[in-house]
A = this chain, B = another copy of it.
Amino acid sequence: MSVKPTVLKLGGSVITNKEKPLTPNMPAIERLTREILRANVSPLVLVHGGGSFGHPVAEQYGIRAGYKDSSQIMGFSKTHQAMTKLNKLIVDSLINHNIPAVEVQPSSCVVTKAGRIQSMEEKPLKKMLEIGFVPILYGDAVLDSETGFAILSGDQLVSSLAIRLDAYRIIVGVDVNGLYTADPKTDPSARLIQHITLEELKNLEHKIEGSKVTDVTGGMFGKMRELTPAVEHGIQAIIVNATKPNRVYKALKGEKVVGTIIEKGETIE
């Protein structure tokens, strides 16, 4: 690749109805497909979360805790299968709009160690980007060298991919406007942080409340922590509200948009 790829993450709460098991948010998927098509950014890697597809099954069988007994085996199969179903809806939508999307299955090419990526086969992925495909990955149930299996969150994957592919930028689409000084869903005094450095983030860490929504991969707080390695690597990340039309489009185009930019930078406000 001569040009650095953009890594776009679409959160599970954006593309699914998180309250109803196995329910995609098709209008949101279709709208985001059109935003991606219009922005026409290349190379592009898309990573999506599990929302109501992956999480309820993973929780039911305690997949995140690793392999404890054989009753979980079917749970792993079902979690992974649910994720591939959600992925299929997204890839179908992209292909229908003439975007050359190709599913890349984390469980087929990643092994974790105690839940952290230990090895990742990158050759097919890099070759896809060279030719002009848009690889689509996702949070997945994966094999783990220490615990048997684990849940690899889309957020950990985004950060790792960005570093491995020497990405230009990370765009994280969630269901809030960005990072707030408090939980905007419960605290009316919460203020959107438009720009933050890693050092400022560290200072804020104790003030930020985790998302209250049940999520085996963590809420906004976990997301921020997962992005840190990529940002430390010099890759800019921006968090935008993907439930609001055109926010993802503007972020892809590099236009000014409501959201939180996270940068390594040394500046202190």
Contacts and interface: CB of A to CB of B under 8 A. Distances in A.
A108 B111 contact: no
Given A70-B132, A73-B133, A85-B88, A104 B108 contact: yes
A40 interface: no
A146 B250 CA distance: 37
A95 interface: yes
A185 interface: no
B76 A100 contact: yes
B81 A103 contact: yes
A247 interface: no
27 contacts: A67-B131, A70-B132, A73-B100, A73-B132, A74-B98, A76-B133, A77-B95, A77-B133, A78-B95, A80-B102, A80-B103, A81-B88, A81-B91, A81-B92, A81-B95, A84-B88, A103-B107, A108-B109, A108-B121, A108-B125, A109-B109, A111-B123, A111-B124, A119-B123, A123-B143, A124-B142, A127-B145
